[in-house]
Amino acid sequence: MQPVTIEIKGDAGSLTVDPSKLPDEIYAAVFAAGLKAFLEKNMTTYTKAKHPDPKARSAAIFAQAQQNLEAMYQGKTKLPKGKEAAGVAREVMTEALRLAEKLVKDWMKANKIKIADVPKAELKAKAKELVAADASLIETAKANIESRKTITLSPTLFEGIKVDPVLSAANADKAAKRKAAIPTVAAPKPAKGKVPPRIKATKPAPQVTVQ
């Protein structure tokens, strides 16, 4: 089993754990604790208020645990996101997936497979497989993020960005068409016998003559 990186709470840092170095009894305890958390998913609705009968509530909870176990066997369990995902921060996982997706696209180009012919969902799924199979992508992602923090660019470097009038006009046209496609809602008519409130005219501002 590959090492697992766990983020320590309070942004204190992270620890990489090598499961092969854990004694059998410790590994079994850690595995059981994690397994318990997955088996007890989706149980927040089984409260005493909604299930006042203790026996019926226990039976429903057990049935949910069985469903969770079956989902795990079939690989349909939803994995936690962000920092909960194997102890990997969301920022790191996003970067790792970006790197993995680029590797997938590079492989496709090398094998003369058009990227446009493959659904984006399949590309993302394959990228997730690569991240799960190769821990070096996580480490590379961490290094990339840390290196970005050391980059300081002068604001003047961003000056001179020119707006393409053709693109600007096309985008404005698209926005106008989207706005025109939105159905307008007529203002409600005043109830019979009622007069709509009068709009008071605003007084013109007094003119001041400077001598």
DSSP labels, the chain: ---EEEEETTTTEEEEE-GGGS-HHHHHHHHHHHHHHHHTTT-TT--TTT--SHHHHHHHHHHHHHHHHHHHHTT-PPPP-GGGSTT--HHHHHHHHHHHHHHHHHHHHHTT--GGGS-HHHHHHHHHHHHHH-THHHHHHHHHHHHHHT----GGGGTTPPP-HHHHHHHHHHHHHHHHHSPP-PPPPPPTT-PPPPPPPPPPPPP----
Four-point Cα dihedral 160, 165, 170, 174, nearest 10:
70
Closest Cα to residue 84, out of 124, 46, 37?
Answer: 37
Question: What residues does each domain of the chain span?
Answer: 1-77, 86-154
The confidence score (pLDDT) of residue 184 equals 64
Proportion of the chain above pLDDT 70, given as a percent = 80
pLDDT tens digits, 155-180: 788 777 888 889 999 999 988 888 88
How many angstroms from the chain centroid is the CA of residue 110? 30
The confidence score (pLDDT) of residue 83 equals 44
Backbone conformation region of residue 131, classed left if phi is above 0, alpha if psi is from -120 to 50, else beta = alpha
The confidence score (pLDDT) of residue 62 equals 92
pLDDT (average), residues 94-122 = 91
Does residue 68 carry a pLDDT above 80?
yes
The confidence score (pLDDT) of residue 82 equals 44
Is this prediction's pTM over 0.85? Answer: no
Mean pLDDT of the chain: 80
| CB-CB contact of 130 with 104 (8 Å) | yes
Closest Cα to residue 86, out of 40, 148, 137?
Answer: 137
Does residue 126 carry a pLDDT above 70?
yes
Give the 3-state secondary structure of residue 153: coil
pLDDT (average), residues 20-41 = 87
Does residue 106 carry a pLDDT above 90?
yes
Tell me how far apart the alpha carbons of residues 5 and 133 are, in angstroms, rounded to a whole number. 14
DSSP classification of residue 127? H
The confidence score (pLDDT) of residue 3 equals 78
Does residue 199 carry a pLDDT above 60?
no
Tell me how far apart the alpha carbons of residues 12 and 137 are, in angstroms, rounded to a whole number. 22
Does residue 76 carry a pLDDT above 60?
yes
